[in-house]
Structure 1
Amino acid sequence: ALFLITNICTETITNNAAAALTFPIALSLSTELGVDPMPFFITICVAASASFSIPIGYQTNLIVQSVGGYKFKDFLKIGLPLNLIIFILSIILIPLIWEFTPIK
């Protein structure tokens, strides 16, 4: 859920703003669960960096859209599958690399 919330935010606002909005959620969630917050923070970083689906999510996407003559739906056709791939890889790899270790 944290990945999806961050990723949806980053499609409409800057990646820094999306991360800043979801960071307190991740910190509260990890504290409530009593686990290391690092996997949550990494999830936010990855999700906030995956702004592929619409051109307004990142400045260079807007430049590419205007210069290349791309339409909004062109970004969706390529961006949504890329976001899905990143989401699946994140679900698999983040817990393997950054374990949800209990905090004492």
Structure 2
Amino acid sequence: LLLLIVSMLTLGSALDNSGALALIVAKVSPLLSTVQPIVALALVYTLTSILTELVTNNAVAVLLAPIAAGVAIQLGLDPRPFVVAVMFGASASFATPIGYQTNTLVYNAGGYRFTDFLRIGIPMNIITGAATVLLIPLIWPLVP
């Protein structure tokens, strides 16, 4: 796990130094410039949540945090709520046994099936996502 985190930090740094991060931000920002800031926040959270179900949460957080911050700055919004949305989205991995280490540990030991995670996890992801997107702007305003 520690090796994975260090590797993802290195990859995040490489994205920044190579200019790939700026390119991603430049491509995504125009798409989000036409929506309300809360919708942009919800889309960042949703993307993070979906990716964290497929890849480990640490990798998703390290890769998407600078992208989310860059997009927020490009849109003239405070980057903090967007980074917080990435952190919450990456931590709320309920729908698969892949995205979070504890899910993987209990998958075999508990005799669970993949569909068990989907059946319980998808509603949990939706509830957590809605609460997160509604509460983040109350603590960290979207407009600087």
Normalised to the residue count of structure 1, the TM-score between the two structures is: 0.91
> 1:69-101: per-residue Cα shift (whole Å, max 9, x none)?
110000011100110001110121001111013
Report the alpha carbon displacement of residue 9 of structure 1 after superposing the two structures with TM. 1.2
Question: In angstroms, what is the RMSD of aligned CA positions?
Answer: 1.1
Q: Which residue of 2 aligns with 1:48?
A: 90
Match of 1:24 among 54, 66, 71: 66
Question: Structure 1 residue runs of 4+, over 3 Å off?
Answer: none
Partner Cα distance (1:30, 1:56) in 2: 29
1:75 match: 117
Aligned to 2:138: 96
Deviation, 1:24, is 2.4
Q: In the alignment, residue 18 of structure 1 is paired with which amino acid?
A: V
Give TM-score, length-normalised by structure 2.
0.67
- Stretches of structure 2 lacking an aligned partner (at least 5 in a row): 1-42
What number of residue pairs does the alignment pair up?
Answer: 102
- Matched AA of 2:53: E
Q: Does the CA-based 8 Å contact 2:45-2:133 persist in structure 1?
A: no
Residue deviations 1:22-75 (CA, integer Å, cap 9, x gap):
122212211112222110011001000001000111122122111111100000
Counterpart CA distance in 2 for 1:88 and 1:57 is: 20
Is 1:38 aligned to 2:80, yes or no?
yes
5+ residue gaps, structure 1, are: none
> Any idea what SS the aligned residue of 1:56 has?
coil
Q: In structure 2, what is the Cα distance between the partners aligned to 1:23 and 1:52? A: 20
Aligned identity (percent) is 50
CA distance in 1, matches of 2:75, 2:94: 31
Structure number with the bigger relative contact order (C-alpha 8 A, sep ≥ 6) is: 1
